[in-house]
Amino acid sequence: MSILSKECNQYLDQMPLVIYVDIDKTICTGPPESDPLNYLRALPYETRIEAINDLYDAGHAIVYWTARGTKSGINWYDETYKQLKEWGCKFHQLKMCKPVYDMFIDDKAFNDMEFFNDPAKLLAQMGYSPS
């Protein structure tokens, strides 16, 4: 573990919740089918970004985690960071190299449709209540 990673993790540990958020098809449309590697053509889902920004404003750590470039080997970090900023996304970290998978099974994972339908309800189910 690098010193930078350790410092970032200590900072995140001070937040009420650390929330990882996918990018493509979660807070934006993703690239068009006709040009699947052109992430710059993705369009933001503004209401979803606002919901994540509300969590940031409530003091939670927001980490955007994407598989952009994982399979192709293309480094999309700078373009993705700029895109998130242009869309008004508030976040603490951007992480690349999310694994490519077909199904993600985890006790703390939520489907994006379920989450954005009622974020407060899901947070309450996790035992989190704002102070």
pLDDT in tens, 36-58: 889 999 999 999 999 999 999 99
pLDDT string in tens for the chain (131-residue length):
334 444 556 666 777 889 999 999 999 998 888 988 899 999 999 999 999 999 999 999 999 999 999 999 999 999 999 999 999 999 999 999 999 889 888 888 888 998 999 988 888 887 777 65
Helix (H, G, I), strand (E, B) or coil at 114: helix
In sequence order, what are the beta bridge partners of 20?
63
pTM of the model: 0.86
pLDDT tens-digit readout, 67-79: 999 999 999 999 9
Pairwise CA distance, residues 82 & 119, whole Å? 26
User: Which residue type does 75 have?
Assistant: N
Whether domain 3-125 has CATH 3.40.50.1000: the reply is yes
Query: Among 39, 58, 37, 35, which Cα is nearest to 128's?
Result: 58
